[in-house]
Amino acid sequence: MPIMPANSEHANRVALVTGGAKRVGRAIVLRLVDAGFDVAFTYLSSAAAAGEVRDEVAKRGRQCLPIAVDLLDPESASETIFKNVTAKFSRLDVLVNSASLYEPDAGDADALSQMRRLWAIHVESPALLARKFSSLLKESEGSIVNMVDLLAERPMAGYLAYCASKAGLWNLTLGLARELAPHVRVNGIAPGVVQWPDDLPPEKREQYLRRVPLQRAGTPDDVAAAVMFLCDEAKYMTGQILRLDGGRSIA
């Protein structure tokens, strides 16, 4: 497939994924590419992984735009993302806010700065990106998918700052769905475990799975499939949070 020049009339649909270089974000990027999207994605320090994703997208015959930004500075990052995306592509059909920072509560001395960091990446950056790209998304009758977390409604001791910020993103999803309707659909995905932390002991994994009716952890590909469902199939769905947890939320 020929590569179309920047700012040309763009035939392919275009998606933007934050945090798209690794793990769940990478799976989402590649699933969108396989569905025919050209993609832009952000990363922070994973330059090597971002290069691997870029090369993989090129092998599949699609355009790819990696963007190095720090979403802990939402104003600067959102402006950089907007300038880069609009310089290369003439449209945007899907925005996936996937970038996340998962960490336990800090001590008292760092509690406030931690809350501000988590709020910046989980609430402020998605809000600013939604506003900056709202015109393009309305033109394409596009959609936004926010990666929330089951812990937003089931807070876990020791991770209260993280849980509260994801609850903020949950509420932002509902608000944006009302604000951007009827031309842009906004939904969220609230996963349970879809990729184990590297340092989680086997006994802790087994303990978690005993509370999951489907008796397995999810995978990044499960999340990517849910993103595609919300983007392409769920045309009459907005303001909804899809619990992707193997039934954990009903157990």
DSSP secondary structure letters along 198-239? TT--HHHHHHHHTT-TT-S---HHHHHHHHHIIIII-TT--S
Distance from C-alpha of 15 to C-alpha of 17, rounded to nearest angstrom: 7
pLDDT at position 199, please?
Answer: 78
pLDDT at position 42, please?
Answer: 98
User: What is the mean pLDDT of each successive set of 10 residues along the chain, which is 251 residues long?
Assistant: 39 94 97 98 97 97 98 98 98 98 92 97 98 98 97 94 98 98 98 83 88 93 98 97 94 83
Answer yes or no: are the C-beta atoms of 69 and 129 closer than 8 Å: no
CA distances to 73, 122, 150, 156, 219 from 194, in Å: 27, 18, 11, 17, 4
Q: The pTM is what?
A: 0.93
pLDDT at position 224, please?
Answer: 98
pLDDT at position 118, please?
Answer: 98
Catalytic residue numbers?
Answer: 23, 149, 162
Q: Residue 58 is encoded by which pair of tokens? A: 């090129």
Determine phi and psi for 94, rounding to 5 degrees: -140, 135
pLDDT at position 11, please?
Answer: 67
Q: For residues 239, 159, 130 and 93, what is the CA-based torsion angle, rounded to 10 degrees?
A: -70
CATH 3.10.20.30 fits 14-250, yes or no: no
Amino acid 11 reads A
Query: Quick one: DSSP state of residue 184?
Result: -
Distance from C-alpha of 164 to C-alpha of 96, rounded to nearest angstrom: 20
pLDDT at position 124, please?
Answer: 98
Distance from C-alpha of 55 to C-alpha of 64, rounded to nearest angstrom: 9
Q: Residue 72 is encoded by which pair of tokens? A: 């802990």
Domains of the chain: which residue ranges? 14-250
| First vs last C-alpha separation in the chain | 48
pLDDT at position 178, please?
Answer: 98
If 0-12 CB within 10 Å is exposed, 13-18 middle and 19+ buried, where does residue 49 land? middle
